[in-house]
Every structure is written in structure tokens, then in C-alpha cells.
Amino acid sequence: MKYSKSENKIIQDSYKYITHWKWHRYALTTLLFILLALGIYLIFHNDYGIFAGFIGGSFGILLSYLIQNWSVPKKEALIVKLVKNQKST
């Protein structure tokens, strides 16, 4: 499928926007590793370590979900499919 020059520019700009990591995703990723490390540490070094470890792990799982889904809204996911189809042809 052929696109006009303006359509190609819109698609490429949208693809750059979607694949660009925002600052909050880096911050959440860093926080994820800190919470998981803290959870593992507390499991082995505290009387309430197992409970604290589960809390840290659950926050880590929640943060990983946010990292994956926060900055890519559903409408933009359709643009990603369009861009991938265009690049594969």
C-alpha cells in the first residue's frame, strides 16, 4: 500500500513518539528494581521479612504493569500496527 508524503511523515512521527521512552518510565523501572531488591533483602534479614518481601514483590509487579502500559494509549497502538505493516511491505 502506497502512502502520500504527508501520510508517511505522520506515520513516522507517530512511530517515534510511541517508541520514545518518557522520563517516568525510566523512573518506574529504577523503582521496580529497588523494590524487588529490597523485597529479596527483607525476606532473608528481618523477622517480618516474608511479609515485607511479598509487599515489595507485589509493588514490583504493579510497577512493571504500569511501565508496560502507561505511555502507550490504545489509539496509538493502532498507529503502531499501521507503521509495522508499512515497514514490512
Least Cα distance to 77 among 26, 15, 25 occurs for 15
Q: Does pLDDT of 88 surpass 70?
A: no
pLDDT in tens, 3-45: 677 777 777 777 676 666 667 777 777 877 887 777 777 777 7
Q: Name all contacts of 3-11 with Cβ < 8 Å and 24+ positions apart.
A: 3/86, 8/86, 11/79, 11/82, 11/83, 11/86
Mean pLDDT of the chain: 71
Cα 18 to chain centroid, rounded: 11
User: Which three-class secondary structure state does DSSP give residue 1?
Assistant: coil
pTM: 0.44
Least Cα distance to 36 among 15, 18, 52, 12 occurs for 52
